[in-house]
Structure 1
């Protein structure tokens, strides 16, 4: 995902860009944890249906509506610029592939469904990079388009604020992951501007009693404070490694 500064035509549009990019990061974090849960179930021979149900709930309830909102609001604004039209057509084609992968996750046997989930994660990460680096700059820089107005009231594009205000996330995955099966999120390669949002999204996908292994290049104390606040203090932190090359922490949701 991009870490470049996007030049927006107004201050409110710049805020809208940040909101969209943060929402993208949260979605990517959730996709990572939920698809990893399916792979982990295959690896340990556990019941595959709970993680399958969890990822389908998220994909149909959050990810596909996000894609539909982009096609309704964001992409038409981008196609005002002639050079963006082929790109938008390609983005819509990716949405169709994502939809097909969701259906494969729904109907295929466990191993194939888990493979489809991994493919969806890789494709979605690349798709978000294109949106952050190519679509958003075009719309934000157009003085005749207000990105803030285009996205106004669109939870599907901007994300919600309940978890950020301390409410517990409504999603639980029920996959029973623990110990070595805990999902691992290495944020060392994630751009700083969206690093916290990526962790927030990933931790939102962790069920109560479950844990996320976080790998960072320094002790993420400010992030831990924000994460605890988002989850009303229902967070336990155990350091498994303290540098010098990496900090590895187990974040458990209580």
Structure 2
């Protein structure tokens, strides 16, 4: 073991994954507390709260969902969570248009109920599944999650070279990078074989939302430009 390596006992407070999950749990707790306060009549809905909720949804999409979206074990779970996240986002936006305080409090209670269930599934199902997923570094993902939540921007390389990464750990890295693309943006994947299984996973998780262009096709190296199709295309 390297002298600089971190020593910890798995599944205890010294475990980086446990500490990372605690960060997510505390973030969820604080947000829900703010939302519960809005369920009382005459409470004002602030743009700061709605912005924070949207940042939470964005941060989760770009990190936790992205890493889990390409794995067979978690693909359907992420698909369902994305549907509910979209509904929560729309409900949050509609809440800002309600002017009657009593009606707004009722809408806030509905949102609180939806969000409580949604975040509970993330904590009790998604995070443990990610921790068991080969190649998914929960601690690093939650670090990125915190960065986006705070309004920061993640470093997104234009070239993702996975040749030195063990095979079982490549796909979470690639799907996480794709999730951070805006419509029309792309990155170049460099691999030591033709990643046909990866392309099938993209077709299953992002049908019609990407293009796949071979820039180099072996025999020693493959380069593929992966582009996110613009939503308006």
Say what the alpha-carbon RMSD is for the aligned residues: 2.6
In 2, are the aligned partners of 1:74 and 1:150 still within 8 Å (CA)?
A: yes
**Equivalent-residue separation in structure 2 for 1:112 and 1:145 (angstroms):** 43
In 2, are the aligned partners of 1:17 and 1:140 still within 8 Å (CA)?
A: no
Write the deviation string for residues 97-151 of structure 1: whole angstroms up to 9, x where unpaired: 1122122211134143332211100000001110111100011122421111122
In 2, are the aligned partners of 1:78 and 1:84 still within 8 Å (CA)?
A: yes
In 2, are the aligned partners of 1:16 and 1:148 still within 8 Å (CA)?
A: yes
In 2, are the aligned partners of 1:19 and 1:158 still within 8 Å (CA)?
A: no
Secondary structure at 1:74's aligned position in 2?
helix
**Equivalent-residue separation in structure 2 for 1:156 and 1:64 (angstroms):** 14
Higher relative contact order (CA 8 A, sep 6+): 1
1:95-114 mapped onto 2 (5 Å cutoff): 95-110=85-100, 111-114=102-105
Alignment: residue pair count? 140
Secondary structure at 1:92's aligned position in 2?
helix
**Equivalent-residue separation in structure 1 for 2:17 and 2:28 (angstroms):** 16
Which residue is equivalent to 1:132? 123
Point out where structure 2 has 5 or more consecutive residues left out of the alignment: 1-9, 152-233
Which contiguous aligned blocks of 4+ residues in structure 1 show a shift greater than 4 angstroms? 156-160
Return the TM-score normalized by structure 1. 0.49
**Equivalent-residue separation in structure 2 for 1:57 and 1:19 (angstroms):** 20
Point out where structure 1 has 5 or more consecutive residues left out of the alignment: 1-5, 42-50, 161-254
1:1-254 mapped onto 2 (5 Å cutoff): 11-33=15-37, 35-36=38-39, 39-41=40-42, 51-54=43-46, 56-60=47-51, 62-110=52-100, 111-155=102-146
Which residue is equivalent to 1:240? none
More helix by share: 1
Distance 1:24 1:140, change over 3 A: same
